């Protein structure tokens, strides 16, 4: 039993205990706080699985913003759960237990965790992780594989792709890979003369400009923003829909006004000073997470949530009237839509430039790799904008009804 298994066992045990506690605790406020604990523990489990992006999302969304929103909801309901008449609903318990048994039964034939022979480790996914889907040989758009290239050979583990270079600046492994031998994913697309002309580019030659091909150091981002960018567009739309639905259902008629009372916390000097000092850094960190998503864990969703937290903190300390002066609700509504439009608009632009929808390479016909970089950055900012504005909207709508 390795240390990882021990830690995982301990964490999962804690997750289970927290889940039971969430159900058992009668105080809803405590229950909401426990969901935050639950998400943070789960984030640690993801970290243990090396799923950093998932862990980051779980921590930011589950541990952070959704707890704030749950507590916001509590303002409208009671703080204590009503006692149940029937302690245990036997039929429901039986059905749930059966369902759980079925799920576990399904895991018996599952590949073991991390098994290199598992289907997802040798079918389709390696190309995604190695970011070699589409074979862009310095030409616009994705090309078919060149003659003689045997995907089966590539899929077999000859160490060429799966190995990680010890020295990150050493690109020799690319030349030795099966792909490079067939002229795919050449590292030297930007010739030396280009590097000479733009010295700043020299540091980036792991990042072949004309062979970008959805290629970013963080393979999760290339999966989310490039290969399955279309799904991500609709995930953003889901967030947008949530915001619109809440406005439609909860927003009070405009004539009654937005503003109720000022924040009770505004006269706390310590809170005010700390908030004022930390908000710029939270915003900066949010923008960093959005922009840096291609290099490390993070991206539009996580960054958007962090940015939203800055606005929500501002509203909590200085009151919603102050937030509405900074970000009036109509502006917030429009920005929410603008995020989705940035994403879908990037897709439509690719279509109008003659490619398929969301074929980022079309954005820069001279250097398709730059086009892909531009497209992926644009959509990440679109996601970040929508997510942050929707979170602020949800918070506002939950807080708004409070004064009734």
Partner 1 sequence: MLDLRQVPDLLQGPGWQAHLPVLIVTIPLIFGVLTIATGKGWKPWAWATAVTGTVFYLALQLIQRVLASPTGMVSYELGNWPRQWGIEYRVDALNAFILLIVAGVGFVTTVYAKHSVEKEIPADRHNFFYAVWLLALCGLLGITVTGDTFNVYVLLEISSLTVYALIAMGKDRHRGALTASLRYLILGSVGASFILLGIGYLMMITGTLNMQDMHERLMSVPGILESRTVLVAFALLLVGLSMKMALFPLHMWLPRAYTYAPSAVSALLAATATKVGVYMAFRFMFTIFGVGFSFITMPTTLILASCATAGILVTGVTAIRQTNLKRLLAYSSVGQIGYIVLGFSLANVNGVAGSVAHILNHALMKGGMFMALGAIVYRLDRCDIRSVRGLGRKMPLTMAAFTVGGLGLVGFPLTAGFISKWYLVQGCLDRPHMWPLAGVVLLGSLLAVVYTWRVVEAAYFQEPDDDRPVKEAPLLMLIPMWVMIGASVFFGINATFTGKISVTAAKALLGVGP
Residue from the set 64, 293, 319, 347 that interacts with partner 1 by CB under 8 A: 347
d(CA 381, CA 342): 8
| Contact status: 166 vs partner 1 (CB under 8 A) | no
> Nearest approach, Cβ of 273 to partner 1 (angstroms)?
38
Residue from the set 118, 271, 322, 353 that interacts with partner 1 by CB under 8 A: 118
Burial class (CB in 10 A: 0-12, 13-18, 19+), 392: buried
d(CA 154, CA 139): 22
| Contact status: 133 vs partner 1 (CB under 8 A) | yes
Q: Which helix (H) or strand (E) holds 98?
A: helix 90-107
Of the CA atoms within 13 Å of residue 274, those in its CB half-sphere come to: 9
Residue from the set 23, 84, 88, 110 that interacts with partner 1 by CB under 8 A: 110
Residue from the set 46, 157, 173, 227 that interacts with partner 1 by CB under 8 A: 227
Is residue 247 within 8 Å of 400, Cβ to Cβ? no
CB 57: neighbour CB atoms within 10 A? Answer: 21
Residue from the set 8, 201, 333, 401 that interacts with partner 1 by CB under 8 A: 333
In our burial notation (b when 16+ CB lie closer than 10 A, e otherwise), range 355-376 reads beebbbbbbbeebbbbbbbbbb
> Nearest approach, Cβ of 263 to partner 1 (angstroms)?
27
Of the CA atoms within 13 Å of residue 275, those in its CB half-sphere come to: 19
Nearest residue to 372 via CA among 233, 177, 235, 208 = 208
Pick the stretch among 22-30, 177-185, 246-254, 292-300 that binds partner 1 (CB under 8 A).
Answer: 246-254
Nearest residue to 37 via CA among 13, 18, 11, 9 = 18
| Contact status: 402 vs partner 1 (CB under 8 A) | no
Residue from the set 9, 94, 100, 111 that interacts with partner 1 by CB under 8 A: 111
* CB closer to partner 1 out of 25 and 133: 133
Pick the stretch among 33-41, 102-110, 262-270, 291-299 that binds partner 1 (CB under 8 A).
Answer: 102-110
Encoded tokens for 311: 């606005």
| Contact status: 234 vs partner 1 (CB under 8 A) | yes
| Contact status: 304 vs partner 1 (CB under 8 A) | no
Q: Which residues bind partner 1 (CB under 8 A)?
A: 102-103, 105-111, 118-125, 127-128, 133-134, 141-142, 214, 226-231, 233-235, 237-238, 240-242, 244-245, 247-249, 251, 253-254, 333-334, 337, 340-341, 344-345, 347-348, 350-351, 355-361
């Amino acid at each position: 039993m390795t240390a990882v298994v021990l830690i995982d066992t301990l964490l999962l045990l804690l997750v289970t205990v927290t889940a039971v506690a969430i159900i058992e605790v009668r105080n809803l406020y405590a229950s909401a706080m426990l969901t935050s604990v639950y998400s943070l523990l789960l984030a640690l489990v993801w970290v243990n699985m090396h799923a950093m992006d998932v862990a980051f999302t779980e921590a930011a969304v589950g541990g952070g913003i959704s707890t704030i929103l749950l507590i916001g909801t509590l303002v409208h309901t009671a703080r204590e759960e009503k006692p149940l008449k029937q302690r245990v609903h036997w039929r429901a318990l039986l059905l749930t237990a059966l369902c759980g048994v079925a799920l576990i039964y399904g895991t018996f034939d599952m590949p073991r965790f991390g098994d290199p022979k598992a289907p997802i480790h040798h079918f389709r996914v390696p190309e995604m992780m190695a970011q070699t889907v589409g074979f862009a040989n310095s030409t616009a758009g994705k090309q078919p594989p060149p003659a003689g290239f045997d995907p089966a050979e590539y899929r077999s583990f000859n160490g060429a792709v799966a190995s990680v270079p010890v020295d990150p600046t050493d690109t020799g492994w690319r030349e030795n890979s099966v792909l490079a031998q067939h002229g795919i994913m050449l590292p030297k697309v930007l010739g030396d003369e280009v590097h000479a002309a733009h010295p700043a580019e020299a540091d980036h030659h792991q990042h072949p400009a004309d062979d970008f091909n959805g290629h970013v150091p963080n393979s999760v981002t290339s999966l989310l923003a490039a290969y399955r960018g279309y799904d991500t567009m609709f995930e953003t739309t889901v967030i947008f829909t949530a915001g619109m639905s809440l406005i439609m259902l909860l927003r009070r008629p405009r004539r009654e006004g937005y503003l109720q009372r000022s924040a009770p916390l505004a006269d706390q000097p310590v809170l005010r000073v700390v908030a004022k000092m930390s908000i710029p850094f939270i915003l900066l960190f949010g923008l960093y997470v959005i922009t840096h998503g291609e290099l490390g864990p993070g991206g539009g969703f996580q960054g958007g949530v962090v940015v939203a937290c800055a606005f929500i903190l501002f509203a909590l300390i200085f009151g919603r009237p102050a937030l509405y002066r900074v970000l009036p609700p109509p502006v917030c509504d429009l920005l929410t839509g603008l995020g989705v439009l940035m994403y879908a608009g990037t897709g439509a632009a690719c279509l109008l430039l003659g490619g398929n929808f969301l074929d980022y390479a079309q954005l820069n016909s001279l250097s398709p790799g730059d086009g892909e970089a531009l497209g992926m950055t644009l959509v990440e900012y679109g996601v970040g904008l929508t997510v942050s504005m929707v979170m602020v909207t949800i918070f506002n709508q939950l807080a708004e009804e409070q004064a009734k």
